Amino acid sequence: MVSNIYLHTFESLEILSFTYFVMTKFFKRTTYPIFILFALVFLQTSCNKNNNQPQASIEIYPSIGSTSTTFTLDATGSWDEEDESEHLQIRFDWEHDGVWETEWVTDKVHENIFSEEGEYIVNIEIKDTHGEVSQTTANLTVTNSSDLIPSNSPFSYNVGINYETWANRKNRNIEKDLDEITKYFKLIRTYHDVGIGTPDTIISPTLEPVIKYILAHPELKIELSLGTATSALNIGNNPGFMVNKTYTDKWVQVLTEAFGSVENTKKYVKVILLGNEVDRVAPGDAAAFKDYITKWIPHSFENMKASLAEAGMPEIPVSTTISNYPADSAANPVSFTSTKYINEHWSSQWNSGQAFVFFNHYTEDMNKTDFGYDIKYFHTVDNELGGSPSVYVGETGYDATFGEENQVKVINQIFSWLDGQYGGHKTTIPLFLFQAFDQPFASPGKPTKFGIFEENAQNIPQGPKKGISIPVWISKPKG
């Protein structure tokens, strides 16, 4: 700090010399010029002594990404008591190796792509107009998450999308929806169930046109991850419909009839998911909760497995979706026990014997923009499970209610993470984006905007939302 004080004092000598010349010209044969000159030197030195160091602040997002991820370093939070932010200069050392990747610049936001996986420490220095410097660091992780890529999956594609038609989408046209969706995604996850909300096993009026579209466009080679209603497992504190095998027999029969044959059903339906987020919709009553874990979920699973086998489709897997898998099994016994049960009772005819369960996850508090939070979660769950069952991503995305630019940021982070996997292996962790289209309104009466496709005033799809870039390989078969 002392050296900086003297430096700036000497930098001012030319100004002080000029000042002395002017004063001696107008104040000849007096001591005033010398007095004023020393006063100016004192003031200059005092001001430098009172200067405070700038405060460096750095934010990196995402905190975890792949070798295809563009990491953003944001130092706009840096500040100084004496200088305005725009006058502060910064420089970056992306790898903390003592080599500065930038000269001193005033731009506070910079981007970088790391070509190698690993843990990185990013160093930043910030300098004020007096030459005072402070520094700080931040950590990030570069991983292509190769350990999350399963050796087998029942899908021909790596990435799919959740498709909900939303009954309150006025003028919705399922054919036009699918015309647009299938330009980018051939793998679709839908919960348009048969027999929704009723014990009658009928085809849902929204599932039927989806099936008709698939059958009418065999050249598209669409595949379905088909979910059931939550009423399959429980109806409040009462057992769900599929606890009764008579119901699952009829359910499989109706589904097969809709596809026209057993062969068509096997061709297009790649997995059946019992319920959705089964840990989130568990019964509230203690006795019913116990039955839900020990009887209703296992019985429904075994019934569906048996009904499919008896109908000539023993190779179609049965699994479920978890909302929150805890490190401590006591914290969420439903997710722990149902995942464990599926893994231990997985059929050898399903997915070459490799079990899988779907896990849903979103960014922190649903409104943060760091997808690294989710990547860390998927790795944590995989470690807890020891690799079996495999972790599949059932839902992830971002609600544009919290900012359209934030949605673009998160969705593109997801794609860049997957790009890193695909670039090295031509396969990725099976992942389904949530969601194709915005929900016009939801409880308590405001819209949710998870949809990645734009719509016009008549709810006709208009392509991906501005700024969202869907990789071309997503619509192509694996490998």
Tracing tokens 């087998």 back to the chain, one arrives at 152
Pure H helices in 243-359: 245-259, 262-268, 286-291, 297-310, 333-344
Q: Is the pLDDT of residue 197 over 70?
A: no
Cβ-based neighbour number of residue 367 at 10 Å: 13
Is the distance from CB of 479 to CB of 470 less than 8 angstroms? Answer: no
State the residue range of the domain holding 6: 2-49
d(CA 393, CA 429): 8
pLDDT at 3: 37
Of the two residues 245 and 192, the one the predictor is more confident about is 245
**Is the predicted pLDDT of residue 57 greater than 80, yes or no?**
yes
Residues 337 and 471 in one domain: yes
Is position 54 within any domain? no
Same domain, 155 and 131: no
Taking a C-beta distance cutoff of 8 angstroms, is the pair 452, 463 a contact?
Answer: no
In the predicted model, is pLDDT for residue 242 greater than 90? yes
Residue position matching structure tokens 């048996």: 306
91 in the same domain as 233: no
Q: What is the CATH number of the domain that holds 203?
A: 3.20.20.80
Helix (H) or strand (E) holding 39: helix 32-49
| Per-residue pLDDT at 187 exceeds 50 | yes
- Stretch 291-302: mean pLDDT, rounded? 98
CA 123 to chain centre: 26
Residues 95 and 208 in one domain: no
Say what the pLDDT of residue 112 is.
93
| pLDDT tens string 425-449 | 999 999 999 999 999 887 676 778 9
Flag the least confident range among 5-14, 295-304, 376-385: 5-14
Distance CA 430, CA 154 (A): 10
Determine the pLDDT at residue 15. Answer: 46
Regarding whether 465 and 329 lie in a shared domain, the answer is: yes
Does 379 score more than 60 pLDDT? yes
**pLDDT of amino acid 313:** 98
- State yes or no: pLDDT of 355 exceeds 90: yes
Domain identity same for 122 and 171 = no
Can you give the CATH number for the domain in which 72 is found? 2.60.40.10
Whether residues 192 and 124 fall in one domain: no
- 183 domain-assigned: yes
- In this structure, of 81-85, 159-163, 243-247, 400-404, the range with the lowest mean pLDDT score is 81-85
- Is 306 among the domain residues? yes
Paired strand residues for 446: 442
The reply to whether 63 and 101 lie within a common domain is yes
Which of the pair, 229 or 274, is modelled with greater confidence? 274
Buried/exposed code over 329-356 (b: 16+ C-beta within 10 A; e: otherwise): eeebbbbbbbbebbbeebbeebbeebbb
Residues 160 and 242 in one domain: yes
Asked if 292 and 374 sit in the same domain, the reply is yes
% pLDDT > 70, the chain = 87
Same domain, 220 and 333: yes
Residues 423 and 289 in one domain: yes
Q: Report if residue 155 sits inside a domain.
A: yes
Question: Which of residues 392 and 131 earns the better pLDDT score?
Answer: 392
Q: How far apart are CA 132 and CA 153, in angstroms?
A: 57
Is the per-residue pLDDT at 12 higher than 60?
no
| Lowest-confidence pick of 45-59, 188-202, 266-280, 363-377 | 188-202
- How many domains in the chain? 3
